[in-house]
Structure 1
Amino acid sequence: MIVITTPTGRIGSRLLDLLLDRAPARGEELRVVLRDPGKLPEAVRARVDVVTGSHGDPGTLDRALAGADAVFWVAPPDPRAPSLDAMYSGFTRPAATAFTAHGVGHVVGVSALGRGTPVAGRAGHVTASLAMDDLIAGTGVAYRALANPAFMDNLLRQTAALRDRGVFTDTVAADRKAPLAAARDIAGAAARLLLDRSWTGTGEVPVLGPEDLSPNDMAHIMSEVLGRPVRYERQSLDDLRASLTGYGFGAAIVDGYVDMMRAVDEGLNDGVPRTERTASPTTFRQWCEEVLAPAVRA
């Protein structure tokens, strides 16, 4: 039995699709945990065991983890959380207890790059995510943290600006090259780990994409794919803070994003070499052609 948290999320939904294709041939049953089962297509609900509730709730976890062999774990975003520790480790602590109580053998979690870098201890959300990894690893379960850079899919939040003004924004220097991964490749890495549970111990699985790109590189590729000029505008950290505050994010969460983006510009994602094991297949151009362009033109 494989349990999937956040099955309608950016990564979880893609993971669920992959497992629905591959798990039955391996004799694997699937269970999902979510607050609103209505968000799943009816055809999907018919093929999985659904547990309704929050996966941060001990009672829900007892129902979800009964008979579970493996778990895909994500601490969901909470813009109003009182602290980063509450959003990550606080939310995960009941699960850490439940993993042990139910004898779960393997857990795959979504985390971030940065462990071992000079800025890892002051990187906001990343620092809190790495602490969550340590909490899970400390239970004795076999654990793999998917260590991710920025997602290509984050650009989907800027489709209106790309369509109307030919602009996208971020806070990093325009010429800073960094890894970039597609959510579908992160889901693919999770699926492989969940289906082949021959691994033991704890560790990280970086998902780096096939190449490092700067915002200027991304603008050039988007210009070619979209057939119109696209330019990058660098946003200041103060502007980022004001934007997030305007969206109603709590002070602790806003501080966490600002600290994380400052750390990214100081090399947070630069410490892991790209190898055959850490590279993932989807190029930014391919992602733009298959995902971004249809969204912008919709």
Structure 2
Amino acid sequence: MTASNPLPYVVFGVTGRTGAAAADALLRAGQSVRVVVRDPAKGRCWAERGAEVALADLTDLASMTRALTRVQGAYVVSPQHYNREDLFELADLIAGTTARAAAAANVPKLVALSSVGADRESGTGWIGMNRMFERRLAETGIATVFLRAAYFMENWMPMVGHAMRTGTLPAFLAPAQRRLPMVATADVGRAAAALLQEEWKGTRIVNLAGPQDYAPNDVAAILSSMLDKPVDVAVLPEAEWPQALAGAGFSAAALAGFTEMTRGLNGAHIGMGSDSSAIGRAGTTPLEHVIKGWQPTE
């Protein structure tokens, strides 16, 4: 299959999971693709697959505008720098630069990675950065889909590694029996690629969940079945969160953002049903598949 329009789709975040999945899906569909990276070495594997490679810094208007010029559309992301104290200020800078570059380049449409809860004005922690991204892009008037993803299934992977070693699954989400929408990052990228290839105008909000909801108890049950041994859930009280995350490299501001976000999830302040204007879609990847494909890092 070959693309009828020679102009490419631009994909940011290809060194991460959702961007890589989006670029892969577009290439498999026969579309022209331009991937955006900071390091040329990170683009070589995509060039070998026939993608164009553009170099840009997300805070540099000139390079971002060049990357977004003469395209069919773009999948844009705002990576969050959890090691920095100014992560919210940096996120706003990236959002503003992306918006100005997209407007200067006359991009016809955007799909922007966001999060469930981005409709909330406060009490969402890290998700506030997604809200910034949405607001900056909405100000451009460009046709945009805000792809609000549910809780990433991959967020469980550090705890899964601990459970495999010890038989105990630590959990920040509570209570242990309460199910929440979760989605695989591969499904997020595939949804972004599909949306880019659809015809639409104006602003749309798409909530993306997985094929079913999961509770911490369900994660433990999946692991127990895989390992053929009991796995228990240990819900961590908030007072223990800083110690549990001590090795994650979070700044104090990032830890505060994580805490507020997790409180919002546990208290149902953050949820799929809070924005009645959102359109619901579902991915197809079950949590079992994500866990089985997980590889521990050294």
TM over 0.5: yes
Counterpart secondary structure, 1:11: helix
1:237 maps to which residue? 238
Length-normalised TM-score, structure 2: 0.87
2:27 pairs with one of 20, 26, 48 = 20
1:71 maps to which residue? 74
- The share of aligned pairs that are identical, in percent, is 28
Question: For the aligned residues, what is the CA RMSD?
Answer: 2.5
Please tell me whether the aligned partners of residues 66 and 102 of structure 1 are also in contact (alpha carbons under 8 angstroms): yes
Counterpart-to-counterpart distance in 2, 1:224 and 1:100 = 51
C-alpha offsets along residues 256-288 of structure 1, whole Å, 9 cap, x if unaligned? 111100100011125269x99422222223433
Length-normalised TM-score, structure 1: 0.87
- Point out where structure 2 has 5 or more consecutive residues left out of the alignment: 1-7
1:96 aligns with 2:99: yes
Counterpart-to-counterpart distance in 2, 1:3 and 1:297 = 30
Letter in 2 for 1:183: T
1:227 positional shift: 2.5
1:108 maps to which residue? 111
Counterpart-to-counterpart distance in 2, 1:270 and 1:72 = 22
1:11 aligns with 2:18: yes
Counterpart-to-counterpart distance in 2, 1:107 and 1:101 = 14
In the superposition, relative to structure 1, how do residues 155 and 193 fare at CA in structure 2: closer, same or farther (>3 Å)? same
Counterpart secondary structure, 1:278: strand
1:40 positional shift: 4.3
Letter in 1 for 2:94: F
1:216 maps to which residue? 217
2:146 maps to which residue? 145
1:194 aligns with 2:201: no
1:41 positional shift: 5.2
Please tell me whether the aligned partners of residues 81 and 87 of structure 2 are also in contact (alpha carbons under 8 angstroms): no
1:175 maps to which residue? 177
Counterpart-to-counterpart distance in 2, 1:50 and 1:41 = 8
In the superposition, relative to structure 1, how do residues 140 and 258 fare at CA in structure 2: closer, same or farther (>3 Å)? same
Counterpart secondary structure, 1:33: strand
How do 1:239-258 residues align onto structure 2 when only pairs under 5 Å count? 239-244=240-245, 247-258=248-259
1:39 pairs with one of 20, 23, 42 = 42
Counterpart secondary structure, 1:75: coil
Counterpart secondary structure, 2:146: strand
1:54 aligns with 2:49: no
Counterpart-to-counterpart distance in 2, 1:69 and 1:95 = 16
1:285 pairs with one of 276, 284, 288 = 288
Please tell me whether the aligned partners of residues 219 and 231 of structure 1 are also in contact (alpha carbons under 8 angstroms): yes
Counterpart secondary structure, 2:261: helix
In the superposition, relative to structure 1, how do residues 110 and 42 fare at CA in structure 2: closer, same or farther (>3 Å)? closer
Letter in 2 for 1:11: T
Counterpart-to-counterpart distance in 2, 1:288 and 1:242 = 25
Counterpart-to-counterpart distance in 2, 1:212 and 1:179 = 4
C-alpha offsets along residues 196-244 of structure 1, whole Å, 9 cap, x if unaligned? 2x11111211111122221012211221123232222212223223444
1:127 maps to which residue? 128
Please tell me whether the aligned partners of residues 123 and 260 of structure 1 are also in contact (alpha carbons under 8 angstroms): yes
1:8 positional shift: 1.5
Please tell me whether the aligned partners of residues 43 and 53 of structure 2 are also in contact (alpha carbons under 8 angstroms): no
Counterpart secondary structure, 1:281: coil
1:165 positional shift: 1.0
Letter in 1 for 2:23: L
Letter in 2 for 1:123: T
1:79 positional shift: 2.0
Kindly report structure 1 stretches of 4+ aligned residues shifted beyond 6 Å. Answer: none
1:203 maps to which residue? 204
Counterpart-to-counterpart distance in 2, 1:98 and 1:187 = 22
Counterpart-to-counterpart distance in 1, 2:117 and 2:249 = 28
Which range moves more in the overlay, 256-265 or 211-220?
A: 211-220
1:186 positional shift: 0.9
1:129 positional shift: 1.0
Please tell me whether the aligned partners of residues 34 and 54 of structure 2 are also in contact (alpha carbons under 8 angstroms): yes
1:116 positional shift: 4.9
Count of aligned pairs between the two proteins: 287
1:13 positional shift: 1.2
